[in-house]
Amino acid sequence: MSIPLAFLGTILIWSTTPLAIKWSSEGPGFIFAVTSRMLIGTVGCLLLLALVRGKLHWHKEAVRTYLAAGLGIYGAMSCVYWGAQFIPSGLVSVIFGLTPLLTGLMASYWLGEQGLTPLRLLGLASALGGLMLIFGGGFNAGHEAVLGMLSIFTSVTLHSLSTVWVKRIGAGLPVMTVTSGGLVVALPMYLLTWALVDGQLPTSIPDKALASIVYLGLFGSVMGFILFFYVLKHVEASRVGLIPLVTPVSALIIGSLFNGEAIPTVVWSGTGLILLGMSVYQWGHMLFRRRTPPVVTQEEQA
């Protein structure tokens, strides 16, 4: 597989996912939409796991890992689908751009990874300032918009917490196995939620909603996962970190072009502060890294 194409494919899928989430809920409702997506994604992942001759393990650490991943999938996706009803799709991607920062904060506390340096605190302050700027614009847009943004931020928090929890367990399972196991845990919770809250199959599903559900099930949940980890395997981590910097902007543009979503200046300003904060948080230390002078041997001096 071409690495540049895999890189671009990951950006494209991540950029179009928020709009597809919004479209998939128009008609059948967000609970049916997310449940259908997870059903398709679970079947797809299990089939792919069988094709690569993988399997689900059921020892204690594996079950704990599936539980951590599954609860994260259920909580995070439920919140993002509910919140996406009330805000532009591009704004969903902007708020999700905070994932590396929140994950880094949690990892420094629970995993003992690199802590908060002054530069990281500066980057965090910039990102939070951008988020508050967007929230301030949301108050002008109405109460529901604020609730929608809070729901998306809750989704980001749950996703980051789940990621760190899986890492803390440290079961050493293949990524495909973890994803499949997490979906196996999450799917019954989605089916139960749908049965209790709705329980009715829609009499008709708009073509756009149906196409979005299938797209999210196959590409958003399966192909996006494959492409991302293929890129992660073959590309430096610093370059992979560019993906969450690109997708918020591209998602805003896609939402504006294909869904007629207005992008106020305050959203662009807040997005810029968030991306600046992420950049400083991830790579700010490189600006002040002291270069060690090369060692000159006696032979070279002669």
The per-residue pLDDT for 222 is 85
Look at residue 292 in the predicted model and tell me its pLDDT.
46
- Cα-based angle 11, 228, 259 (whole degrees, multiple of 5): 30
Contact 72, 182 (CB under 8 A): yes
pLDDT of residue 187: 96
Give the model's pLDDT for residue 133.
86
Give me the pLDDT at residue 237, please.
Answer: 54
- The confidence score (pLDDT) of residue 115 equals 66
Residue 294: predicted pLDDT: 54
Domains of the chain by residue range: 3-286
Q: Which residues contact 213 (CB under 8 A, 6 or more apart)?
A: 24, 28, 33, 36, 37, 40, 205
pLDDT in tens, 181-214: 999 999 999 999 999 998 888 989 999 999 999 9
Q: What are the structure tokens assigned to 146, written together?
A: 């604020």
Q: Which residues of 153-170 are buried (b: 16+ CB within 10 A; e: fewer)?
A: bbbbbbbbbbbbbbbebe
The torsion angle over the Cα atoms of residues 115, 118, 119 and 120, rounded to 10 degrees, is 40
**pTM recorded for the entire structure:** 0.86
For the chain, which ranges sit under pLDDT 70?
Answer: 1, 114-116, 137-141, 229, 232-233, 235-241, 285, 287-302
Q: How far apart are CA 33 and CA 27, in angstroms?
A: 9
